[in-house]
Chains A and B, each alone.
Chain A
Amino acid sequence: MKKVIKFLGNQWGQRVTILVLIMVVMAVFQQNFFKPANAMSILLAISLYGIMACGMLFVVLVGGIDLSVGSMAALTASILSIYADRSGYTMAGFLTGVLVSIAACILVGIVHGILVTRFALPAFVVTLATKYIIYGVVLLVTGGHFVHIIDDGIMYKLGNYRVFGQIPMPIVIFVLCAVICALILGTTVFGRRLYATGGNPVASKLVGIKTDFSVIVSYIICSISAGIGGMILASMNMQAGPTTANGYEGNVLTAMVVGGLNLAGGEGGVTGAVFGALLVGIINNMLILLGVPSDMTTFVQGIIIISAVSLNMYTSRRSQGIVVEKTKKSDIKA
């Protein structure tokens, strides 16, 4: 029993267990799951969540949360589609759209960051509010209608082109994003400072880290990644509008907790976020294959978040218990 708990307490132990469980269920009920075509569609589905999860990871690492990613994606999807459409699908129009979108992401990220650091407001309140504000802006920008994309150029290729005739573009972008984020977190000074900020802001300030800056940049990165996800989504759907990426924050948040990330900040990495996105994608796919109606995904998501967080808490409390004992001893010695 102890060994089982220890195995489940290990992050990779948890991940392997969950994957094996899914495999077993699918092997029994739906063998189509294992077909290569299905694997590709899973990857396609998770690439969007994955890109957004990589960005959200930064915010979670500094102990925050961003509930506005769904709206943010809708906004960039709409902006890009409108620019592309108005310009008659020229490269210049497309690029302007991308630039304006990214600028909007940066602006939103800065606003989030400043409200959270300087005004010390809770992150979930701020981003819940901006979720609605951005949604309102999407309605204004689109006039409440869908923008349809009629193009076979860059606007189509962004979401549908197959690299080497095989690998869909979104997957390539997802891998690229994951690698870039892993590099930022793993090899740059900024990454080191980010972990320190999330792990102990007071100590970080005392070693000369500008913690407010770390937090603000995290929110910017999160918004940008949400924006990139939105632009790809627009191209994949060949349309963009108010309901684009609706509720994606739920998927991304689920990915975070399923990936075993500590929402209090300071620990976790890209593998967690990617694994989380993978699992969310697989589970959604599984539900579809098993014939569960699509509008039930929120229900399943809720259950998954609750069980994943409970499991994380249960196992981490165990590992923390050991730490607490140790420090207590040394304290008393003094």
Chain B
Amino acid sequence: MEEKSVLLEAKGICKQFNGIPVLKNVNLEIRRGEVHALMGENGAGKSTMIKIITGVYTMDDGQILMEGKPVTISCRQDARCCGISVIYQELSLIPALTVTENIFLGQEISRFGFTKKKEMRRQVKALIEKYGFDLDPDMLVSSMGMAQRQMVEILKALSMEAKLIIMDEPTASLSAAETETLFKTIDGLRQKGTSILYISHRLEEIYRMADRLTVMRDGENVGVLTREEMTPQKVTTMMIGHEIKEDKNRERRQRYEGNCLEVTGLAYKNILKDVNFKAYGGEILGIGGLVGTGRTELIRCIYGAEKPSRGKITLNGKPVSRSIAKNIKAGFGLVPEDRRNEGFVPLLSIEKNLAIASYDKLARFGVVNRKKEINFAQEAIRGYDIRPPMRHLPVGNLSGGNQQKVVLGRWLSRKPLVLLLDEPTAGVDVGVKHELYHLMRALATTGSIVIMVSSDLAELTHVADRILVMHDGRFFEEFTHENATQTAILLAASGVHTSEGVPL
């Protein structure tokens, strides 16, 4: 294969936030007309890297060369001038406008403020023909599907003469057929000489599309692989690095067969296809898999926040209700993924956020027993070490970790039979993380079922007694605590069986 010339080269990029290094001497080299993939676990620094290239953040140290010449990118406009465009996960199109109007929004061709529609339309049409897109320049964006909207975004980038298009998880909201169309589009772009920086968690997409792959871990790049070198094993090993052997011989908890949550044949929209599992009291059940495979939807279905299209959920033989309020009474609790928007009420005090789900116990005839409420809050604040220990403080003013303690504490104080946690330690610093693990273990020891969805592989192997890995709307493989390794889980999430797991 002939060597293509280098389009963008980033050398020795460093970036710190409040003294914490996020990027340490990262290099990235993208050649002309290649699909270059960027992979790494959550928190490896991928998104920071992109934000530096596109001018959202400024780098502390390093250099960016565009076609061999050094450039400074300090704002979005700079990036655009250099020919760098981003297709965001949440698309930024205006539904009420047509394709043409969207593509030229903000840089209309006009005379005296009057838009030259014909000229714009002609240019869009030329672009569409050049790249062979299946689009009508006069179509309203509101009447288009996600994949088509993405094409418009790409077209918009091309209209600004983008040489490098960055795509951040572009298939996250696409169906299988739509993904196929996107891949074809990307192929077309590659042939026309446009470079693409492709960020994804999905290994299978990377194998299929990428010419080369840069792997990042902990703010450093671990290496660049060519197409021939990309094997699932190699990529995952690079992403995870040297796995620290954990002491797997910790004390095993008693499993309480008497407390059992059973899910059979659960389906939800076209996200969950056929989910079956049992969870027992006394164990922490970890659920792994890639973001967007339906893990969140699964626990929300169990909790009653979403209505499954098929399937049965039972707790100790009794069917679980579809009403959240009834489920809470029956002993369920949910710590949602998006803490700030779904977890707590920022303006309300610690005390009221803790008590909000427990007024069945703290009130009589609809009137709150203030003494009980205060006691309840104070016990929780003390028991879970919420800081600062001031019950009147609005939760919005706490640190992420303490906010999470409030959300978790709300349920722990009720001694739930089933506690569902969705990414419980996202955005929480290390010290608090271990406190949260401790609280979860303590709850499980009392015989409760704890189900934890997590993308943090270290967390899954460390905390969970049993791990179920989801792939393509189903559980793909099961690991015991003793056998689980991060590499094996990551491979299972991408649909590759390993010797450590038990296929389901």
Contacts and interface: CB of A to CB of B under 8 A. Distances in A.
Interface of A: 187-193, 195-196, 199-200, 202-210, 266-267, 322-323, 326-327, 329-334
Interface string B226-249: 000000000000000000000000
Contact of B429 (A195, A200, A204, A334): A334
A94 to B, nearest CB: 30
B359 A203 contact: no
B417 interface: no
B352 A204 contact: no
A195 B399 CA distance: 22
A203 B328 contact: no
B397 A326 contact: yes
Interface string B356-388: 110100010011101000000000000000000
A111 to B, nearest CB: 25
A323 B334 CA distance: 26
B325 interface: yes
B336 A195 contact: no
Interface stretch (B127-135, B214-222, B339-347): B339-347
B495 interface: no
Given A207-B328, A327-B400, 6 more contacts: A189-B367, A192-B356, A199-B345, A203-B342, A207-B410, A331-B427
Interface in B279-315: 303, 305
A330 B429 contact: yes
A254 to B, nearest CB: 23
Interface of B: 17-18, 20, 43, 303, 305, 323-328, 334, 336, 340-348, 352, 355-357, 359, 363, 366-368, 370, 396-397, 399-401, 410, 426-429
Nearest to B323: A208
B347 A192 contact: no
Contact of B345 (A200, A208, A330): A200
A323 B397 CA distance: 6
Contact of A330 (B323, B325, B401): B401
Contacts of B342: 200, 202-203, 206
Given A203-B342, A208-B328, A334-B429, A196 B348 contact: yes
A208 B357 CA distance: 7
Given A203-B344, A327-B340, A188 B367 contact: yes
Contact of B324 (A206, A266, A330): A206
A329 B400 CA distance: 9
A187 B356 contact: no
A332 B325 contact: no
Contacts of B344: 200, 203
Contacts of B305: 205-206
A207 B352 CA distance: 12
Contacts of A209: 325, 356
A21 to B, nearest CB: 29
A207 B399 contact: no
B19 to A, nearest CB: 10
Given A199-B348, A205-B324, A334-B400, A189 B359 contact: yes
8 nearest interchain CB pairs? A208-B325, A199-B345, A330-B400, A334-B427, A332-B17, A207-B357, A200-B345, A189-B359
